Amino acid sequence: MRINRTLAAISIGFLLLGCNPKDKTIKIGLLMDTLQTERWQHDRDAFVKRCEELGAKVLVQVANGNDATMNSQAENLLTQGVSALVVIPHNGTASATIVEAAHKANVKVIAYDRLIMNSDLDLYVSIDAVGVGARQAEYLVKRMPKGNYVIIEGAPTDNNAALLRQGQMQVLQPYIDKGDIKIVGDQWAKDWLPVEALKIMENTLTRVGNKVDAVLSSNDGMAGGAIQALAEQKLAGKVLVTGQDADLAACQRIAEGTQTMTIYKSLTEEAYKAAEMAVAMAKGEPLTEKTSMVPNGKKDVPSILLVPMSVDKDNMMATIIADGFQKKDEVYKTLAAVNPEAAESKEAIESKVTEPVKK
């Protein structure tokens, strides 16, 4: 009787924790900082799809920018018996504790897109962020080799923001040293928030009397904020503005002419790669993929880094749209209302598109 009761308690415990001892399905934990920025929804969907194709189940948790929440979500996933953890950290330094906790439970950790610093991380899957920054700056200096630039960097808590800065400065520094490019504003935006970029841009425009030629915005969301501030001064479309992510709203602004470019990153490829690696790790298979090494302060982390690409209105059809990343009708939906002539001439570009451009 006592044994029966104990057994019953154990099975109830398993049911509560979602671990049916007979269920051999591999479980992967996906810890996400946020779903606020459009891209992360795409990452989540592609990651879950690929894991399921490979026979694994994904348990997703979103921390909404809160480090303590992410830590307790990690503990919770470990208790639920995940065999691998994939983490998109809010704070690359604070999340080192997640790696420690996972390793104590014999679970390997992959940092997805954003590096986890000072930890014994097992793998990093991302898109070359230094390359993203360099491409943004290269695009601007080609078109505006002299002028007043505003730089809006991402979250200081995200290592990607620092890597972007590194790539941007590699390109800009010689122009700054020559005195051709003058940096009239240079700030980091908490949590990559568009509203922070709006404020930074409004203050900068006031301070320099609207004398701005180019805005080096590190992502699309913040480009949206900066463009709102430019529009308030009737400058939208007159100032070059960069971005990153190929968000729908950014692609629409590129079509309309208020944003100049974005960086298109194949999120499907990134998510699929991470899913494949996570499932292999969960099965205890060795890593066979070719990796490079990225230092995180504690070790050189084996890393898979994919290649980003610059997109503007001229190659949007042949890249983002031809790949099916954004839908043509959605991207050009707003154009006809803003600029009917441009909407008509876009029909001509469309007819030229046959197949996706190789990256």
Q: Which residues bind ligand BGC (CB under 6 A)?
A: 37, 39, 113-114, 154, 158, 160, 192, 219, 244-245
Closest distance to ligand BGC from the beta carbon of 137 (Å): 16
Closest distance to ligand BGC from the beta carbon of 13 (Å): 37
Q: Which is nearer to ligand BGC, 39 or 108 (CB)?
A: 39
Q: Could you give phi then psi for residue 45, rounded to 5 degrees?
A: -60, -45
Q: How far is CA 3 from CA 6, 9, 13, 267, 301, in A?
A: 5, 10, 15, 51, 48
DSSP count for the chain of H helices, then E strands: 13, 13
- Are the C-beta atoms of residues 325 and 275 closer than 8 Å to each other? no
CA–CA dist 76, 257 (Å, integer)? 46
Q: Which is nearer to ligand BGC, 154 or 302 (CB)?
A: 154
Q: Which is nearer to ligand BGC, 29 or 92 (CB)?
A: 92
Closest distance to ligand BGC from the beta carbon of 263 (Å): 8
Q: How far is CA 330 from CA 39, 59, 171, 252, 324, in A?
A: 16, 31, 34, 8, 11
Q: Which is nearer to ligand BGC, 195 or 342 (CB)?
A: 195
Q: Which is nearer to ligand BGC, 136 or 258 (CB)?
A: 136
Closest distance to ligand BGC from the beta carbon of 36 (Å): 8
Q: Which is nearer to ligand BGC, 109 or 130 (CB)?
A: 130
By C-alpha distance, which of 204, 249, 255 is closest to 222?
249
Closest distance to ligand BGC from the beta carbon of 168 (Å): 14
Strand ranges across the sheet with 84-88: 56-62, 26-32, 84-88, 108-112, 123-127, 300-306, 292-295
Burial class (CB in 10 A: 0-12, 13-18, 19+), 91: buried
